[in-house]
């Protein structure tokens, strides 16, 4: 337990790993033990945010959340695109080898399939693969991604530089994806990472009661957000390949 916590694995994920080894313990008991024995700390309080319209906003971030283990057993850090529906908090994680404009478009295409439709507004952070120049009023969007957004019918509302509260729900998404989804896992291929992330989004995170909404994100999304989405694309988007 101490080794996993030192590597940043969440205590809830440590409990899952213990169960795989046949150790059954409630989270409350494990937490009390960790606080008493390992000086396990308490999380910081969250800031409540006003709700938007269901199906309107999809917030997007990217971060180092998983590690690829090669045949020699060496770990290589990899990134993922993380989408969070602003009202229901339902989440989609798309692991990638590299963060590029092309992988951002591929991630969006996979997100529309996962959610069953297109959100009207995408709120990314100021990654250079999407936002060439940050500006409070007129950010400069990468032409390739802007053309894609126009083709799929959604608007881009980039966050202000160094203003994490503009997409505060997503700012806290990287850590749980890294720790709860991928923490302690041995991932040997991109395909395995994608399959594991999708299962986590649907069956674990999606079916866990959210501390703010007090609802299950997946059921909340299906009831209130999915019916409000734009129709999912029927055609495949021809993603440009950089030379």
- Residues 16-38 pLDDT 10s: 999 999 999 888 788 888 888 88
The enclosing H or E element of 62 equals strand 57-69
Q: Taking 50 as the threshold, does the pLDDT of residue 216 lie above it?
A: yes
Using pLDDT thresholds of 50, 70 and 90, give the confidence band for residue 95.
very high
At residue 7, the pLDDT reads 86
Distance between CA atoms of residues 176 and 171, nearest Å: 10
pLDDT-above-70 percentage for the chain? 89
Question: Which pairing describes strands 155-156 and 121-124: parallel, antiparallel, or unpaired?
Answer: parallel
Please report, for the chain, how many H helices and E strands are present, in that order. Answer: 9, 7
Q: What is the pLDDT of residues 119-141, one digit of tens each?
A: 999 999 889 999 998 877 788 99
Dihedral over Cα of 52, 54, 60, 65: its sign: positive
DSSP state of 167: G
């Amino acid at each position: 337990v101490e080794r996993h916590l030192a590597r940043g694995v969440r205590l809830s994920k440590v409990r899952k790993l213990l169960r795989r080894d046949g150790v059954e313990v409630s989270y409350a008991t494990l937490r009390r033990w960790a606080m008493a024995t390992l000086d396990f700390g308490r999380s910081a309080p969250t800031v409540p945010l006003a709700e938007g319209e269901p199906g309107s906003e999809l917030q997007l971030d990217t971060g180092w959340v998983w590690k690829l283990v090669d045949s020699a057993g060496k770990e290589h850090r990899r990134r993922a695109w993380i989408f969070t529906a602003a009202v229901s908090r339902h989440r989609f994680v798309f692991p990638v080898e590299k963060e590029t404009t092309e992988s951002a478009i591929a991630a969006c295409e996979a997100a529309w399939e996962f959610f069953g439709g297109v959100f009207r507004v995408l709120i990314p952070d100021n990654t250079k693969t999407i936002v060439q120049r940050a500006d409070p009023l007129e950010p400069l969007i990468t032409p390739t991604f802007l053309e894609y957004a126009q083709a799929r019918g959604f608007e881009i509302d980039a966050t202000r530089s160094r203003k994490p509260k503009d997409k505060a729900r997503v700012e806290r998404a990287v850590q749980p994806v890294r720790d709860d989804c991928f923490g302690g896992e041995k991932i040997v291929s991109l395909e395995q990472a994608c399959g594991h992330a999708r299962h986590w989004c649907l069956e674990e995170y999606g079916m866990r009661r959210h501390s703010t909404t007090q609802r299950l994100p997946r059921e909340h999304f299906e009831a209130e957000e999915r019916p409000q989405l734009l129709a999912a694309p029927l055609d495949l988007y021809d993603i440009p390949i950089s030379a």
